[in-house]
Amino acid sequence: SQQGEEDPQALSIQEGENATMNCSYKTSINNLQWYRQNSGRGLVHLILIRSNEREKHSGRLRVTLDTSKKSSSLLITASRAADTASYFCATGPNTGNQFYFGTGTSLTVIP
Amino acid sequence: DGGITQSPKYLFRKEGQNVTLSCEQNLNHDAMYWYRQDPGQGLRLIYYSQIVNDFQKGDIAEGYSVSREKKESFPLTVTSAQKNPTAFYLCASRSRVNTEAFFGQGTRLTVV
Protein backbone atom coordinates (compact mmCIF):
# COMPACT_ATOMS: atom_id res chain seq x y z
CA SER A 1 0.00 0.00 0.00
CA GLN A 2 1.15 3.53 -0.66
CA GLN A 3 -0.98 4.97 2.10
CA GLY A 4 0.71 7.58 4.25
CA GLU A 5 0.46 8.01 7.98
CA GLU A 6 -0.56 10.95 10.14
CA ASP A 7 0.68 11.54 13.63
CA PRO A 8 -0.79 11.81 16.19
CA GLN A 9 -3.88 9.66 15.57
CA ALA A 10 -5.87 11.86 17.94
CA LEU A 11 -5.30 15.31 19.38
CA SER A 12 -7.32 17.23 21.95
CA ILE A 13 -6.63 20.91 22.68
CA GLN A 14 -8.27 23.95 24.22
CA GLU A 15 -9.81 26.62 22.03
CA GLY A 16 -7.22 29.24 21.16
CA GLU A 17 -4.28 26.84 21.22
CA ASN A 18 -2.35 25.77 18.14
CA ALA A 19 -2.71 22.27 16.68
CA THR A 20 0.07 20.52 14.79
CA MET A 21 -0.37 17.36 12.76
CA ASN A 22 2.31 15.44 10.89
CA CYS A 23 2.18 13.31 7.78
CA SER A 24 4.72 10.83 6.46
CA TYR A 25 4.51 9.33 2.99
CA LYS A 26 6.32 6.69 0.99
CA THR A 27 6.69 7.69 -2.66
CA SER A 28 8.20 10.59 -4.56
CA ILE A 29 5.54 13.23 -5.08
CA ASN A 30 4.67 16.25 -7.18
CA ASN A 31 2.58 17.78 -4.42
CA LEU A 32 0.98 17.04 -1.08
CA GLN A 33 -2.51 18.06 -0.08
CA TRP A 34 -4.36 18.36 3.21
CA TYR A 35 -8.06 17.65 3.59
CA ARG A 36 -10.59 17.98 6.39
CA GLN A 37 -13.47 15.63 7.14
CA ASN A 38 -16.32 16.43 9.47
CA SER A 39 -17.89 13.38 11.06
CA GLY A 40 -19.88 11.31 8.56
CA ARG A 41 -19.23 13.67 5.67
CA GLY A 42 -17.04 13.87 2.59
CA LEU A 43 -13.58 15.41 2.57
CA VAL A 44 -12.94 19.06 1.82
CA HIS A 45 -9.68 20.31 0.33
CA LEU A 46 -7.71 22.72 2.56
CA ILE A 47 -4.35 23.41 0.98
CA LEU A 48 -1.86 22.09 -1.61
CA ILE A 49 1.91 22.39 -1.37
CA ARG A 50 4.11 21.57 -4.34
CA SER A 51 7.28 19.51 -4.07
CA ASN A 52 9.47 22.57 -4.74
CA GLU A 53 7.86 24.55 -1.91
CA ARG A 54 8.91 24.30 1.73
CA GLU A 55 6.15 26.27 3.41
CA LYS A 56 2.72 27.61 2.53
CA HIS A 57 0.12 29.66 4.39
CA SER A 58 -3.62 29.98 4.00
CA GLY A 59 -5.47 31.94 6.68
CA ARG A 60 -4.87 30.14 9.99
CA LEU A 61 -3.26 27.18 8.22
CA ARG A 62 0.48 26.71 7.77
CA VAL A 63 1.87 23.71 5.91
CA THR A 64 5.49 22.64 5.66
CA LEU A 65 7.01 20.02 3.40
CA ASP A 66 10.32 18.20 3.73
CA THR A 67 10.78 15.99 0.68
CA SER A 68 14.10 14.62 1.96
CA LYS A 69 12.29 13.19 4.97
CA LYS A 70 9.08 12.47 3.06
CA SER A 71 7.09 14.36 5.66
CA SER A 72 4.73 17.30 6.00
CA SER A 73 3.10 19.13 8.87
CA LEU A 74 -0.14 21.08 9.18
CA LEU A 75 -0.39 23.81 11.80
CA ILE A 76 -3.75 25.33 12.71
CA THR A 77 -3.27 28.49 14.74
CA ALA A 78 -5.72 29.94 17.26
CA SER A 79 -7.97 26.89 17.03
CA ARG A 80 -11.75 27.11 17.29
CA ALA A 81 -14.36 24.57 18.31
CA ALA A 82 -15.46 24.52 14.66
CA ASP A 83 -12.03 23.12 13.72
CA THR A 84 -13.01 19.82 15.35
CA ALA A 85 -12.70 17.26 12.54
CA SER A 86 -10.38 14.65 11.07
CA TYR A 87 -7.48 15.85 8.95
CA PHE A 88 -5.87 13.82 6.18
CA CYS A 89 -2.84 14.30 3.98
CA ALA A 90 -2.99 13.04 0.40
CA THR A 91 -0.32 12.27 -2.16
CA GLY A 92 0.00 10.96 -5.68
CA PRO A 93 3.06 9.48 -7.31
CA ASN A 94 4.98 11.30 -10.02
CA THR A 95 3.38 9.11 -12.68
CA GLY A 96 -0.13 7.84 -12.98
CA ASN A 97 -3.26 9.25 -11.43
CA GLN A 98 -3.50 7.30 -8.19
CA PHE A 99 -4.35 9.41 -5.18
CA TYR A 100 -3.61 8.09 -1.71
CA PHE A 101 -4.68 9.33 1.70
CA GLY A 102 -3.06 8.96 5.08
CA THR A 103 -4.66 7.43 8.14
CA GLY A 104 -5.84 10.78 9.52
CA THR A 105 -5.59 12.81 12.72
CA SER A 106 -8.74 13.32 14.75
CA LEU A 107 -8.69 16.81 16.24
CA THR A 108 -10.97 17.85 19.08
CA VAL A 109 -11.02 21.51 20.09
CA ILE A 110 -12.58 22.04 23.50
CA PRO A 111 -14.49 25.32 23.92
CA ASP B 1 -24.44 24.04 -8.93
CA GLY B 2 -21.31 22.11 -9.83
CA GLY B 3 -20.40 19.18 -7.66
CA ILE B 4 -20.21 15.48 -7.07
CA THR B 5 -23.23 13.55 -5.88
CA GLN B 6 -23.38 10.16 -4.24
CA SER B 7 -26.56 8.20 -3.73
CA PRO B 8 -28.07 6.81 -1.70
CA LYS B 9 -26.78 8.25 1.56
CA TYR B 10 -27.64 5.06 3.46
CA LEU B 11 -27.87 1.58 1.95
CA PHE B 12 -28.70 -1.74 3.52
CA ARG B 13 -27.71 -4.99 1.90
CA LYS B 14 -28.66 -8.54 2.69
CA GLU B 15 -25.86 -11.06 2.68
CA GLY B 16 -25.34 -12.55 -0.78
CA GLN B 17 -26.73 -9.53 -2.63
CA ASN B 18 -24.94 -7.23 -5.02
CA VAL B 19 -25.55 -3.51 -4.56
CA THR B 20 -24.55 -0.54 -6.69
CA LEU B 21 -23.51 2.84 -5.32
CA SER B 22 -23.99 5.82 -7.57
CA CYS B 23 -21.48 8.62 -8.16
CA GLU B 24 -22.19 11.47 -10.56
CA GLN B 25 -20.18 14.65 -11.19
CA ASN B 26 -20.90 17.68 -13.33
CA LEU B 27 -17.45 19.21 -12.92
CA ASN B 28 -16.19 17.86 -16.27
CA HIS B 29 -13.43 16.01 -14.41
CA ASP B 30 -11.51 13.24 -16.14
CA ALA B 31 -10.40 11.28 -13.08
CA MET B 32 -12.74 9.61 -10.60
CA TYR B 33 -12.02 7.53 -7.52
CA TRP B 34 -13.72 5.21 -5.06
CA TYR B 35 -12.50 4.91 -1.48
CA ARG B 36 -13.59 2.81 1.45
CA GLN B 37 -13.41 4.19 5.00
CA ASP B 38 -13.86 2.02 8.06
CA PRO B 39 -14.67 3.56 11.47
CA GLY B 40 -11.79 5.64 12.78
CA GLN B 41 -9.66 4.69 9.80
CA GLY B 42 -8.19 6.39 6.78
CA LEU B 43 -9.31 6.07 3.18
CA ARG B 44 -8.33 3.04 1.13
CA LEU B 45 -8.43 3.18 -2.67
CA ILE B 46 -10.76 0.66 -4.30
CA TYR B 47 -10.77 1.67 -7.98
CA TYR B 48 -9.91 4.73 -10.02
CA SER B 49 -10.53 5.86 -13.56
CA GLN B 50 -8.54 8.37 -15.58
CA ILE B 51 -10.78 8.49 -18.66
CA VAL B 52 -13.99 7.06 -20.01
CA ASN B 53 -13.98 3.30 -20.62
CA ASP B 54 -10.81 2.84 -18.58
CA PHE B 55 -10.28 2.03 -14.91
CA GLN B 56 -7.61 0.51 -12.66
CA LYS B 57 -7.65 -1.44 -9.43
CA GLY B 58 -6.57 0.22 -6.23
CA ASP B 59 -5.33 -1.50 -3.08
CA ILE B 60 -8.57 -3.28 -2.13
CA ALA B 61 -10.42 -4.03 -5.39
CA GLU B 62 -11.38 -7.62 -4.56
CA GLY B 63 -15.14 -8.02 -4.25
CA TYR B 64 -15.85 -4.73 -6.05
CA SER B 65 -16.48 -3.78 -9.67
CA VAL B 66 -16.84 -0.48 -11.51
CA SER B 67 -17.71 0.91 -14.92
CA ARG B 68 -16.97 4.22 -16.62
CA GLU B 69 -19.26 4.42 -19.62
CA LYS B 70 -19.80 8.15 -19.25
CA LYS B 71 -17.42 10.87 -18.11
CA GLU B 72 -19.79 12.07 -15.42
CA SER B 73 -20.63 8.68 -13.90
CA PHE B 74 -18.55 6.08 -12.02
CA PRO B 75 -20.81 3.55 -10.26
CA LEU B 76 -19.39 1.05 -7.80
CA THR B 77 -20.88 -2.41 -7.38
CA VAL B 78 -20.26 -4.22 -4.12
CA THR B 79 -20.57 -7.89 -4.98
CA SER B 80 -21.40 -10.85 -2.78
CA ALA B 81 -17.72 -11.77 -2.98
CA GLN B 82 -16.90 -8.84 -0.69
CA LYS B 83 -16.99 -10.54 2.70
CA ASN B 84 -17.00 -7.45 4.90
CA PRO B 85 -18.75 -4.69 2.96
CA THR B 86 -20.07 -2.65 5.88
CA ALA B 87 -18.25 0.68 5.58
CA PHE B 88 -18.48 4.31 4.47
CA TYR B 89 -17.83 4.70 0.74
CA LEU B 90 -16.52 7.93 -0.72
CA CYS B 91 -16.35 8.96 -4.34
CA ALA B 92 -14.05 11.71 -5.58
CA SER B 93 -13.11 13.39 -8.81
CA ARG B 94 -10.42 15.74 -10.05
CA SER B 95 -9.60 17.44 -13.31
CA ARG B 96 -6.05 16.17 -13.76
CA VAL B 97 -2.95 15.11 -11.91
CA ASN B 98 -1.68 17.56 -9.31
CA THR B 99 -4.98 19.20 -8.57
CA GLU B 100 -7.37 19.03 -5.67
CA ALA B 101 -10.00 16.34 -5.41
CA PHE B 102 -13.68 16.99 -4.84
CA PHE B 103 -15.63 14.53 -2.74
CA GLY B 104 -19.21 13.43 -2.52
CA GLN B 105 -20.94 13.19 0.83
CA GLY B 106 -20.53 9.44 1.02
CA THR B 107 -22.73 6.34 1.16
CA ARG B 108 -22.91 4.32 4.35
CA LEU B 109 -23.43 0.67 3.47
CA THR B 110 -24.60 -1.78 6.12
CA VAL B 111 -25.04 -5.52 5.74
CA VAL B 112 -28.12 -6.81 7.54
Check residue B72 and give its pLDDT.
Answer: 97
* Percentage of chain B modeled with pLDDT above 90: 78
Q: How confident is the model at residue B3 (pLDDT cuts 50, 70, 90)?
A: very high
Per-residue pLDDT averaged across A48-77, rounded?
96
B50 at interface of A, judged by CB pairs closer than 8 A: yes
Residue by residue, DSSP assigns B20-83 as: EEEEEE-S--SEEEEEEE-TT--EEEEEEEEETTEEEE-TT-TTEEE--SBTTB--EEE-TT-S
- Look at A104 and B108 and tell me if their CB atoms are within 8 Å: no
Top residue of B97, B107, B108 to mutate, by most chain A CBs within 10 Å, is B97
What is the per-residue pLDDT across A15-52, written as a single tens digit (0 to 9) for each?
Answer: 999 999 999 988 888 889 999 999 989 999 999 999 99
Residue type for position B19: V
CA dihedral sign, ordered B68, B85, B4, A28: negative
What is the per-residue pLDDT across B14-64, written as a single tens digit (0 to 9) for each?
Answer: 988 999 999 999 999 999 999 999 987 889 999 999 999 999 999 899 999
- What is the three-class DSSP state of A82? helix
- Look at B105 and A41 and tell me if their CB atoms are within 8 Å: yes
Check residue B96 and give its pLDDT.
Answer: 75
CA distance B92 to B103: 4
Check residue A100 and give its pLDDT.
Answer: 84
Neighbouring C-alpha atoms within 13 Å toward the C-beta of A97: 24
Q: How many of the other CB atoms lie within 10 Å of CB of A25?
A: 22
Residue B97 has pLDDT above 70, yes or no: no
Angstroms from B58 CA to nearest CA on chain A = 8
Measure the N-to-C terminal CA separation of chain A; round to a whole number of Å.
38
* Percentage of chain A modeled with pLDDT above 70: 93
